[in-house]
Structure 1
Amino acid sequence: MIREYQTKDLDTIMSIWLKGNQQAHPFIDSQFFENNFELVKMLIPASTIFVQDIDGVRGFIGLMDNYISGLFVDEQYRRQHVGKALIAKAKQLHNQLNVLVYKQNTQAIAFYQSQGFQVVDQSLNEETNEPELLMTCIVNHTIKIGKCAL
């Protein structure tokens, strides 16, 4: 079940965030994420957060308007459509979604491409000095029934 973030979820999602970043970004010193842990923990309530909760939080997505500020899935639930379900929830709420992905994170790039995202720009992350890609997905909310569009 996808539901809105509750304060009780904070420790779990922060654990998923830290482990996920360290696993997905071996090209960045893990100390970088540890040093930013408290800042991110403080900023979490500023985003709109949705979690997949099936006997516990399996993953979460953070949105700041139409920007995906984070999408993380607990390691034991990856490749079980958790990320796909969280993206689907975000697509229900927005006509366009944007996300920045480190260029070396090829698994994330492939995942977002499978969800309809395209690379539209490249830049250098000033904090990590790593190249990152801006990916965008235009969401079509038109539902066609026969010849009618809703």
Structure 2
Amino acid sequence: MIREYQPQDLKRIMAIWLQGNEQAHNFIRPDFFKQNSAIVEMLIPMSTVYVQDIDGVKGFIGLTENYISGLFVDPHFRRKGTGKALIEKAKQRHNELLVHVYKKNNDAIAFFLSQNFEIVSESINEETNESEWLLRCNVEHNVRIGKCAL
């Protein structure tokens, strides 16, 4: 079941966030995410967050307007539809979705491309000095054909 974030979810969300970042971004110095976790913990309640709750939080998506500020899934629930379900929830709420993905994060890039996102630009992340892509998905509601149609 996908539902809105509740304050009691924060500890589990932060554990999934930290583990996911450390696993997916082994090209970034290991302490970077730990150093930024307090900021993220403060920002989560200010964002629109949906969680996949199957006997506890198994994944989440954080949105700031139509920008995906985070999509993380517990390693045991990856490749089982959790990420796709969270993206579908975001597509129900927005006509366009944007997300930055590190160019070296091949799994995330493949996932977003499989969800009909397109690469629109490349830049350097100022905090990590790593190359990242901006991906966009145009959502066409109530239409059967077209990119990202619901």
Q: Calculate the TM-score normalised by the size of structure 2.
A: 0.95
Following superposition, the deviation at residue 143 of structure 1 comes to: 3.7
Structure-2 residue corresponding to 1:108: 108
TM normalised by structure 1 equals 0.95
**Residue 69 of structure 2: aligned partner:** 69
Question: Which residue of 1 is the match for residue 147 of structure 2?
Answer: none
SS at match of 1:142: coil
Point out where structure 2 has 5 or more consecutive residues left out of the alignment. Answer: 145-150
Which residue of structure 1 lines up, in the alignment, with residue 47 of structure 2?
Answer: 47
Matched letter for residue 65 of structure 2:
D
**CA offsets 1:53-77 (integer angstroms, 9 cap, x no match):** 0101000000000000000000111
Q: Tell me the equivalent position of 1:20.
A: 20
- Do residues 128 (structure 1) and 111 (structure 2) align? no
The structural deviation recorded for 1:30 is: 1.6
SS at 1:128 equivalent: coil
CA deviation profile, 1:37-60 (whole Å, cap 9, x unmatched): 111001111110000001010000
Q: RMSD in angstroms over aligned alpha carbons?
A: 0.7
CA–CA distance in 1 between the matches of 2:139 and 2:100? 17
Determine the structure 1 residue equivalent to 2:90. Answer: 90
Deviation at 1:98, TM superposition (A): 0.1
What is the DSSP-based 3-state SS (H/G/I as helix, E as strand, rest coil) of the residue aligned with 2:18? helix
In 2, the alpha carbon distance for the partners of 1:48 and 1:30 equals 27
Number of aligned pairs? 144
Residue 142 of structure 1, CA deviation: 2.5
Structure 1's consecutive aligned runs of 4 or more residues displaced over 4 angstroms after TM superposition are none
Quick one: which amino acid aligns to residue 83 of structure 1? G
Deviations 1:80-129 (A, max 9, x none): 10000000000000000000000000110000000000000000000000
Counterpart CA distance in 1 for 2:44 and 2:132 is 22
Find the aligned partners of 1:12 and 1:57 in 2 and give their Cα distance: 7
Structure 1 unaligned blocks of 5 or more: 145-150
Q: Mean alpha-carbon deviation: is it higher for 37-46 or for 88-97? A: 37-46
Amino acid corresponding to residue 51 of structure 2 in structure 1: V
Larger radius of gyration: 1
Distance in 1 separating the partners of 2:31 and 2:102: 17
